Amino acid sequence: TVGGSTLDASFKAVKPYTGHVLSCLGWGQHSLAPLSFKSATYSGVFTLAPLLTGKGREHHGAILREAAALANAGQLTIRVDQRHFELPDVNEAFRQVAKGRGKGKTVIQLVNE
């Protein structure tokens, strides 16, 4: 749901041949070349028009309910980088993301547990 540069990064990170990128906020101008070079696929669920006009709202609601059901069933997973950062190391975490060295989402722990 982030779109922008995150969507572009997803196109570059997708798994060759069997990878698929799904976005419900694909605003902007994005190059599909990274997907083509990996023979991967992309689906966009465009939610803005139904939210503004009401037309197709139920259909998009059904798509989002299905995505929620898959997530609740444990069939969707979020890749999280093994390395976690604490707040004093936030600059290092940012450098990892900026240089593309992370393997999934980067975690910054805000409070000590």
- The string of pLDDT tens digits covering residues 11-40 is 888 888 888 888 876 666 888 888 888 888
Annotated domain spans of the chain = 78-113
- The string of pLDDT tens digits covering residues 53-88 is 888 888 878 888 888 898 889 887 778 888 889 988
Closest CA to 103 of 84, 86, 90, 88: 84
- Measured between alpha carbons, how far is 61 from 21 in angstroms, rounded to an integer? 19
- Measured between alpha carbons, how far is 66 from 98 in angstroms, rounded to an integer? 33
This prediction's pTM:
0.43
Task: Name the DSSP class of 30.
Answer: -
